[in-house]
Structure 1
Amino acid sequence: MTAPRIAMPARLSEADGADARVGLANAIFDDVAELVRAEDLDVVVVRRPDLEGFDGLVLPGGGDIDPARYGGDRTSACYDVNADQDALDLAILQDALDRGLPVLGVCRGLQVINVALGGTLIEDLAPSGVAHVPSGRSEGGLLAWSWHDVALAAHSRLRAELSAELVSVASGHHQAIGELGEGLNVVAVAQDGVIEAIEHASAPVLAVQWHPEAEGTAPAVAAAPFVVFADLVHAHRMTGIAS
């Protein structure tokens, strides 16, 4: 049996001459793809919202979603708002949902899922006791990661995979879920209440706000969302074969 084919929508913003965060998002795209491949899944970068012949979808990180998509107002804090990227990510997610395919979101990917299901975003997080946004830059001009604990909900897929209530994660986001999208459950939170992971109540969909691909993440924590996703992919594939 061939490896399951997993679609990842291309990043459409060019890093040259842009906000340094654009370059970072484009660079870590490959790191996310490697974590998918580590679960013996075949990654295909796509530019069209058609998932015919695919077994799952991974939505990676990137810039901010246009606040108009969820009834917000664009502020100076928003960066790399790209109408083409929004259109691609939201359309390909809708195709995955229509087909019942497993979906994994990472950072922006979580936000895309929430907005697609009728939720909203906090356009710029207020300061709190948890540093979600790095305060400085590392050598080479790339943003450093902030690190903090998240609490995993009992009976969640991530909690079952990690067998832990608290895990340390790498953070690099200035936005977060406001109102939760329809059908979504909160399965991880930071100490300040920011939603850090979601799972769908009935569809094979999960997402994390943190960056499992960040260097320094514990191997089990880095792998966990992708292991859960791979299990969903294989279960969905076997159901299709059986039918």
Structure 2
Amino acid sequence: MPPRIAMPARLSDPIGADARVGLANAIFDDVAALVRAEDLDVLVVRDADLTGVDGVVLPGGGDVDPARYGGDTAAPCYDVNPAQDTLDLEIARAAHARGIPILGVCRGLQVLNVAFGGTLIEDLPVSSVRHTPGSDGCGGLEWTWHPVTVAAGSRLRAEVDADEISVASGHHQAIGRLGEGLVATAVAHDGVIEAIEHRDAPIIAVQWHPEADGTPALLAAAPFAAFADMVRSPAFRAS
């Protein structure tokens, strides 16, 4: 049997909501497909019972409530969903407590940072790098692409085999203060943290969207391949 990977369900209804809610819900399946491409089985969950689970993937979605990290609750956030925050954070903390490998994608990276006591930038200021996508003119959102520098010696660097890669960006928030035990493993040219790993635990996360159309196959698979290696490693067996 292939390893079982839990992915927390998306709880927001896209009908009548911000267009980004529908996009996040739609790409959930694309992230799941990249998990399955590593010969891993996906289990969509609605609670933090991780019995029989070998790994956790935290996918994209709306903004984490700033109240969760002592941020500005009046900041321009979208799709703040208390139930989603509770589900994702409880799963992240339960997985870490049991030593279960975790992969975060976009919101998933932000959830992990908050789970480890870090903070978020509620709304990124204008900089030399465009992180937030615009409209394609037809009511749909498009990705914005920019380079990131990947840290030598990181799990991600071992998979991408390059010091710099181009990524599909779709976020207006980012890591502020890193959570305890987390290290930055990829950074945009304006200093925004684009990937993290944990110093000791089997945790990796990326701020960008490897599932985005136009991402080269090797780069799309890279975070998932690093995650799959951890899932299968004897060094990271759930207790």
Q: One fold, TM greater than 0.5?
A: yes
For 2:181, give the aligned amino acid: G
Residue equivalent to 1:17: 16
Q: Does residue 127 of structure 2 align to residue 95 of structure 1?
A: no
For 1:56, give the aligned amino acid: G
Residue equivalent to 2:149: 151
- Shift, 1:76, TM fit: 4.9
Which one of the candidate residues 197, 200, 210 is aligned to 1:199? 197
SS of corresponding position for 2:62 = coil
- Shift, 1:240, TM fit: 4.3
- Shift, 1:137, TM fit: 2.9
SS of corresponding position for 2:233 = helix
For each residue in 1:122-163, what CA deviation from the matched residue of structure 2 results, as whole angstroms up to 9, or x when unmatched? 000000110100132354x22100000000001011111111
Q: Which runs of 5+ in 1 are unaligned?
A: none
Residue equivalent to 2:25: 26
Residue equivalent to 2:58: 59
CA distance in 2 between partners of 1:178 and 1:37 (Å)? 32
- Shift, 1:27, TM fit: 0.2
TM-score by length of 2: 0.97
CA distance in 1 between partners of 2:85 and 2:121 (Å)? 17
Residue equivalent to 1:179: 177
Identity of aligned residues (%): 68
Task: Give the 4+ runs in structure 1 shifted more than 3 A.
Answer: 238-241
CA distance in 2 between partners of 1:112 and 1:144 (Å)? 23
Q: Does residue 216 of structure 2 align to residue 222 of structure 1?
A: no
CA distance in 2 between partners of 1:10 and 1:240 (Å)? 24
Conserved in 2, the CA contact under 8 Å of 1:138 and 1:144?
no
Coordinate RMSD, CA, aligned:
1.4
For 2:134, give the aligned amino acid: S
Counterpart mapping for 1:130-149 below 5 A: 130-137=129-136, 139=138, 141-149=139-147
For each residue in 1:28-63, what CA deviation from the matched residue of structure 2 results, as whole angstroms up to 9, or x when unmatched? 000000000000000010001110100000000000
CA distance in 1 between partners of 2:59 and 2:73 (Å)? 22
TM-score by length of 1: 0.96
For each residue in 1:44-100, what CA deviation from the matched residue of structure 2 results, as whole angstroms up to 9, or x when unmatched? 100011101000000000000000000012235200000000000000111101110
Q: Does residue 111 of structure 2 align to residue 112 of structure 1?
A: yes
SS of corresponding position for 1:188 = strand
CA distance in 2 between partners of 1:148 and 1:240 (Å)? 36
CA distance in 2 between partners of 1:96 and 1:9 (Å)? 12
Q: Does residue 211 of structure 2 align to residue 213 of structure 1?
A: yes
For 1:15, give the aligned amino acid: P
Residue equivalent to 1:82: 81
CA distance in 1 between partners of 2:201 and 2:147 (Å)? 27
Q: Which runs of 5+ in 2 are unaligned?
A: none
